Structure 1
Amino acid sequence: MDVKQIEALSDLISSSVAQLKQLQSSLKTTEHTAATTRAEFLKPSLEVVAAASQLVALVRTPERYLMDISTAHQLSTSLRVVVETHVVEILREKGQGPKKSLSAKEIGAYNHVNHLKLARVLRILATHHIFEEVSPNVFANNAISIVMDTGKSLTELEARPAEKYDSSNGIAALVGLFSDETFHNAVCTADVLKDPQMTNSFSPYDASFALAWPGTRNIAMYDWLNLPENNHRKKRFGMAMHGMNSMTPSDAILRGFNWSSLAPGSIVLDCGGGVGSVSLPIVQSCPQINLIVQDTSPVVAEGPIFWQANHPQALAQGRVTFQGHSFFESQPAENKNVAVWLLRMIMHNWPDAECVKILKNVRASCNKDARIVIVDNIMLFASRSQEIEGEETGTSDPDALAPEPLLANWGVANSLSYKQDLNMLSNHNACERTVPEFADLLSQANFRIVEVHQAHQSWLPQIVAVPV
């Protein structure tokens, strides 16, 4: 046991907590999310989580630690149970007393789940600080479980189950996606990696998804979701993406590339931008910018509804327009004058060959002064050294690494990025990338990186590239 490192980690926790306390005293609210989504809270919060997780790994026996990790799938399984059986909504609507609690037997009477089994599912979650067991077999929501609340009544959920996630924050849908489709796919990852042919393939048709479901050997996951029999899954997937976006402050897109530096009349094209929700803060804060939202025709057809509700003035002024188009096809000729091409959370969905095709289509429409802004996870190595012998590591952000004695990539505090990387592997045979990997993709399409905004105060890192 490394006592010196344990002491160093303890000291880091103490200093970071002191910083959080000082920041908290400047706020009028003690509400958890309102505080920790502020940019200045992010670094000390990450330090506490990273250091505490590293302490756990140091003080537990290796065998015990491994067993905990190898049985973590039971947490995903349990989360799927509570989301699909409406436990959070039942407790919120039917709960009794100051904590609005119910016994497992009472919950089971509402959702028709055997109460003896349900209690065990809820207990493992309560053991991991999701829900509270207020007395034996009696449970209540807490600050973590309640974020899965869709806001629906039990009557609504029973009458219209397909609408469960509509108008919610999307977090329950995201939990549903991760604990259902993505979980199923991940189970087959070892089988794919051991297969002599599939292990060396980066085709979307050779993702773990191909082995996880009946009849999926020759279809990609996105196409499978579009099948009529999977409409409910497609709908949940869409709300899950909304949930992913809701985890990021709305102004996060402004923390990186200097949008205000663009000249009046400059055109920004949000490539694969859905309805344009991510670009909304750009238009709001930079009135000199015109926006084109580009996605498939059925998706952008919903765009005017979103903008009418959120920024009708920009819609009326013609500052935001919509373009139905697949980024795998050559860009329309009218896009030659685009100043900035925005690709947010696009590249990680696709293997390298498909990414290069997307980038080449953009490059063919770029003028010499255009910029491309990629907003995506940027992977760090867990080692303190970020250099690869014999390879150019490219541009980097010096504030991206965690302070010692933490792992350089922030350890468990940043683990969602690495889980997402494997989600992309199992779902699509795609990946999250390091800066050198982005540099390689961009160079194949005749771009070069000029800025990297990777530090965690940016929330989602940004890479800025120019044509060469």
Structure 2
Amino acid sequence: MAHAELDRLQACLNFALDTLRNEMNNSQLPPLSQQSLVEHPLDDSTKYLPSTGVFEARRLSLACLGELKNLIQSPLDKCMDERFAIYGVACTDTLIKTGIIDYLSDVPNASQGVPAAELASKFELDSKKLVPILRCCAASGWVRETRDSSFALNRCSRTFIEGNAGRRLNFSMPGHMSVIETIPHWVAESDWKLSRSPEQTAFQIAFNTPLLAFSWIVENPDVLVPIADHLQVFGDMSTPSIVADYPWQQLQTPVIVDCGGGQGGLISSILDAHPSFRAIVQDMENVVALTSSIMEERRPRDIESGVLKVEAHDFFQPQPRIGNEYSFILRHIMHDWPDKEATTILGNVARALGPKSKILIIDMVAVPNVDSTATTSVKSLMLDSRAKGPDYRIPSHFGSASRIVSGSSMHMLTMINGCERSLREWEKLVKGCGLRITNVYPLRAHTSIIECALDTRALM
């Protein structure tokens, strides 16, 4: 009896894992182990950029695993699995907020684990509640149950220790569960079900506020700083790849303007790698004071010499930096906004461009899944480019390996009616601003760089 789909996926997974093993050896990376108490270089994308081979092999492996799960898991189990997944978020939040994560990282003989009763006594908690919480985390691969009701950190959970990137990224805004619960009503029943306004979203319904999500956050300082920290890490995850995978030397403009550049982390990394550029970080008035102090501390010579400037600018207003001297970065800006507002932002920058200027939109590119085969990644892993690529039938969006893209799109939708756009949607948006896409650079990250320039053909 032929099991065509199962056989193809098994062959693809074997190929992907063999390639991952070989590529890791070529990069002199240590073996992966969940039992390890030491972080692996691949665990923190803000610090380590994997080779293209490692990145592609890992993505293909995850896609295969997701497709295998879809193939062999029963629909009823899948339904229960998804319904219960939300508890995993609450459980990891609990371990962080109680201090259990940090405690488990500091105990002697940490690999042996700590009894739940000891954790309950230490933190004045109920062990009957702690055991199901810890087992839920263990089922998700965040901790290990070393013996009955005793738990230890594993390699992955170390990202949640105080000071590590996962701890900062893991921030969950109080009340966000209510936003998720509101989605079906907002989409199908509310008076706003056909509205694409950023002021008529699931967020406004759940929080019972007329304020734009960004305005609400600014007025609630208890969430402002953690959200800013979360967004900083989210951006830093792609920074090494942005610097390495885009041909910055081809830019014909001497100055790079980072619109909505936050604390200046991306520009700093670009200047470190390409010191011939000058740079400007633009952001709102309430942000630039902090950015200026950070840059004055970290890059005093660049500030003093004028190589780096920080200035207040609202990207809903006309761009003041005009002409061939400037190219512009819009990182994680466009996905925040519906098409109407996104067109205003992009149009303001487009009208400032000179013939040599570029706009670099750094955002995710959503890939529609139309039962096509993601052959590009497979071919890029073939050592012999002339070899016939295997017929693996992996979804073009890499299935479960793209869940961060689809999840981000849902988050932006519910918060502000934004979304992650497909290439076709990017082309439409860009064309409407008098621009054309000159290239798309896939990154070793979840984002891509969409390079745009003035569409001189439209002026002819």
**Aligned: 1:330 with 2:318:** yes
Q: CA deviation at 1:60?
A: 1.8
Q: Which residue of 2 aligns with 1:50?
A: 63
Residue identity in the other structure for 2:168: A
Q: 1:224 — aligned with what?
A: 216
The residue that corresponds to 1:235 in the other structure is: 225
Alpha-carbon spacing, 1:452–1:316, altered in 2? closer, same or farther (3 Å) = same
**Structure 2 match to 1:202:** 196
* Structure 2 match to 1:392: none
Q: Report the Cα distance in structure 2 between the residues aligned to 1:44 and 1:466, rounded to whole angstroms.
A: 33
Look up the equivalent residue of 1:22 and give its one-letter code.
Answer: N
Letter of the 1:188 counterpart: T
1:132 aligned to 2:129?
no
Amino acid at match of 1:252: S
Residue 458 (structure 1) shift: 5.6
Aligned equivalent of 2:124? 112
- Counting only pairs closer than 5 Å after superposition, residues 58-457 of structure 1 correspond to structure 2 as 58-93=71-106, 95-99=107-111, 101-150=113-162, 168-177=163-172, 180-213=174-207, 215-216=208-209, 218-227=210-219, 230-248=220-238, 250-263=239-252, 266-308=254-296, 310-332=298-320, 334-385=321-372, 399=376, 404-454=392-442, 457=444
- TM-score (ref. length: structure 2): 0.87
Distance in structure 1 (CA, Å) of the matches to 2:367 and 2:432: 22
Amino acid across the alignment from 2:335: H
CA RMSD between the two structures = 2.5
Kept in 1: contact 2:236–2:265 (CA 8 A) = no
Identity of aligned residues (%): 21
| Equivalent position amino acid for 2:121 in 1 | A
CA change 1:340–1:314 in 2 (3 A) is same
CA deviation vs aligned residue, 1:290-346 (integer Å, no higher than 9, x gap): 1010011232222344335544443343211111111111222x4444431100111
Answer yes or no: is 1:34 the counterpart of 2:26. no
Could you tell me how far apart the structure 1 residues matched to 2:340 and 2:122 are? 50
- One-letter amino acid of the counterpart of residue 381, structure 1: P
Letter in 1 for 2:234: M
Do the aligned partners of 1:182 and 1:426 also contact (CA within 8 Å) in 2? no
Q: Which runs of 5+ in 1 are unaligned?
A: 151-167, 387-396
Give the match's secondary structure for 2:317.
coil
After superposition, give the CA deviation of every residue in 1:357-416 in whole Å (9 maximum; x if it has no partner): 111211222222211110000000112359xxxxxxxxxx99479973211100001111
Task: Report the more deviating stretch, 309-318 or 133-142.
Answer: 309-318
2:452 counterpart SS class:
strand
Aligned to 1:25: 25
CA contact (8 A) 1:171 1:240 kept: no
The alpha-carbon distance between structure 1 residues 255 and 398, as it changes in their structure 2 partners (threshold 3 A), is: farther
Q: Is the 8 A contact 1:169 1:246 kept in 2?
A: no
**Equivalent AA in structure 1 for residue 213 of structure 2:** M
Q: Is the 8 A contact 1:170 1:244 kept in 2?
A: no
Matches of 1:28 and 1:312, distance apart in 2:
37
CA distance in 2 between partners of 1:385 and 1:92 (Å): 45
Question: Which residue does 2:46 correspond to in 1?
Answer: none
- Paired residue total: 431
Cα gap change, 1:309 to 1:181, in 2 (>3 Å): farther
Give the C-alpha shift of residue 27 in structure 1: 4.0
Change (3 A) 1:197 1:268: same
Amino acid corresponding to residue 201 of structure 1 in structure 2 = S
In 1, the alpha carbon distance for the partners of 2:128 and 2:11 equals 43
Query: Is contact 1:20-1:45 (8 Å) kept?
Result: yes
Rounded Cα–Cα distance in structure 2 between residues aligned with 1:129 and 1:222: 33
Task: Note closer, same or farther for the CA distance 1:196–1:303 as it changes in structure 2 (3 Å cut).
Answer: closer
What TM-score, normalized by structure 1, do the two folds share?
A: 0.86
